[in-house]
Chains A and B, each alone.
Chain A
Amino acid sequence: MSSKPYIREIPKSSWFFRQPRYMRYMAREVTSFFIGAFTLLLVVGLKRLAQGPDAFQSFLDALRGPLGVLFCLVALVAAIYHSTSWFNVTPQAMPIQRGEEFVPGKLIVGAHYAIWAVVSLIVLIMGI
């Protein structure tokens, strides 16, 4: 071994620009921020509800404004990207073995989409 191996430093704040796959990873991580922000928004909504009908109505009015709608749309797109990027890797984290064979990954991913669709439908029906 040489006495002087050369160490190439990783740029701490820009390493993810090196590869498209790192960018996809960062997109998955960053989109979680919008899910967190939307959850906080729901908590604020609960607080306004506890303050009375007028407070809750003004909260709903603010949500129906252009900024509120824009935020909800962006959060929805981010949530869909975030969720699907996790659904698509579930066969790696949760392989199911039946005898000598593994259940095809597409089935495991498909099951997640199916459960998502059913839960969304139930929430929609309850909301109407």
Chain B
Amino acid sequence: MSEERQIQLEVLRYNPETDLEPRFQTYSVPCVNEWVVLDALNYVKENLDPTLSYRWSCHMAVCGSCGYMINGEPKLGCKAFIHEYGDHIRVEPLAHFPIERDLVTVVEDFITKFSSVKPYLIPKEDKPISAGEFKQTPAQLMKFKQYTLCINCMLCYAACPQYGLVPEFLGPAAISMAHRYNQDSRDGGRDQRQEVIASHEGVWECSFVGACSEVCPKHVDPAGALQQVKVASTIDWYKEHLMPWSKK
């Protein structure tokens, strides 16, 4: 039998039309232990306060829409089970992003940065469709497979203190995605991406706090990807300066 308990759900509210700054509002929500925090928010929306704004879609950790700070920790609302918390749960918008309204954040900065690393396959050479597919061995796939699991939920940006302190930082997910394509045997776009990710605002702004990997709901390990980009970029630098005759 499902056990029901009353949860005090404290939610950060902000209405740009009427509020000068955000404020907390507490709702008393009858929760079933199998619920996730997103279910509690949906209960509030449907039964207590239809004005509450928040993003969500799939409810199964695939779409990456329902990232919130739950008791100060970046989490997906659909993966944060009520039974893992006490009777008081505080939900805030993702840290380090401007608040649009209530739990909805402004994500344009992330989208611009993510797009800037050309997160798509740039084939080494053009090939007519009739020549068939680009083939890849399982070992070549394994080299980057974990990075393909990113769902762009932005929890890594909310966890990264460096992004909070230096908003110009390209950030974990964007650089990890660049690394994903750089590691792909079918790809030839590394030089184009290096211009963006090997810059000061790129990977060198990362000080390897490692928080991004700890909060990643898909175990992408962005921190690992960033360190590998640093190693590769350092090798590039030495090759360029000590062996100018060698091609990168």
Contacts and interface: CB of A to CB of B under 8 A. Distances in A.
A10 interface: yes
Most A C-beta atoms less than 10 A away, residue of B17, B161, B165, B227: B161
B106 interface: yes
B24 interface: no
Contacts of B123: none
A92 B211 contact: no
B164 A95 contact: no
Given A6-B98, A16-B161, A95 B228 contact: yes
Interface in A1-18: 1-8, 10, 12, 15-16, 18
B210 A21 contact: yes
Contacts of B231: 93-94
B162 to A, nearest CB: 10
Given A5-B98, A21-B211, A22-B209, A92 B224 contact: yes
Interface string A1-44: 11111111010100110110110010001000000000000000
Given A5-B99, A12-B165, A99 B16 contact: no
A67 to B, nearest CB: 32
A93 B211 contact: no
A92 B213 CA distance: 10
Contact of A93 (B101, B143, B224): B224
A54 interface: no
A43 B53 CA distance: 61
A7 B98 contact: yes
B184 interface: no
B30 interface: no
Contacts of A95: 224, 228
24 contacts: A5-B100, A6-B19, A6-B21, A6-B98, A7-B98, A8-B99, A10-B164, A10-B165, A19-B72, A21-B211, A22-B211, A25-B209, A25-B210, A89-B208, A92-B210, A92-B227, A93-B224, A93-B230, A94-B228, A95-B224, A95-B228, A100-B139, A101-B142, A102-B142
Interface of A: 1-8, 10, 12, 15-16, 18-19, 21-22, 25, 29, 89, 91-95, 97, 99-102
Interface of B: 14, 16-17, 19, 21-22, 72-73, 95-96, 98-101, 106, 108, 138-139, 142-143, 161, 164-165, 207-211, 213-214, 221, 223-224, 227-228, 230-231
Given A1-B106, A10-B164, A21-B210, 15 more contacts: A1-B100, A2-B100, A5-B106, A6-B14, A8-B22, A10-B161, A25-B161, A25-B207, A89-B210, A89-B223, A92-B213, A92-B221, A93-B230, A95-B224, A100-B139
